[in-house]
Copies of this chain bind each other. A is one copy, B any other.
Amino acid sequence: MLAYINRASWEKSLETGEAHYWSRSRQEIWHKGGTSGNVQKIKEIYVDCDNDTVLLKVEQVGGAACHTGYETCFHKQVGPDRGITLVGERLFDPERVYGK
């Protein structure tokens, strides 16, 4: 998954050992998994060459990082004909986890 992180959510992530991002729509710190219970336990942290991107390697509680219930947000593969194939399995039903 890809998400925004700012200084406040970065600090929260380091303090707690669980991934916190920055919700641009809600303009608040987003504790990933706070609603679903599918938190991300941080195992390794990397910053990139020009220090503006962070890579978190995590243990994904529940197995699914994506709010759609898939393991990864990148579950739509683009074929040579530009067609989309869904890859991976859905690990939870979003309606059950988040309500309708």
Contact = CB atoms under 8 A, between A and B. Distances in A.
A59 B49 CA distance: 20
Given A14-B82, A82-B14, A77 B2 contact: no
Mostly, the A contact residues are: loop
Give chain A's interface residue range (CB within 8 Å of chain B).
20 to 34
Contacts of A68: 49
* Copies of this chain in the oligomer: 2
Contacts of A44: 77
Nearest to A74: B46
Nearest to A49: B73
Contact of A84 (B2, B47, B76, B78): B47
Interface of A: 1-2, 14, 44-50, 53, 55, 66-68, 70, 73-78, 82, 84, 87
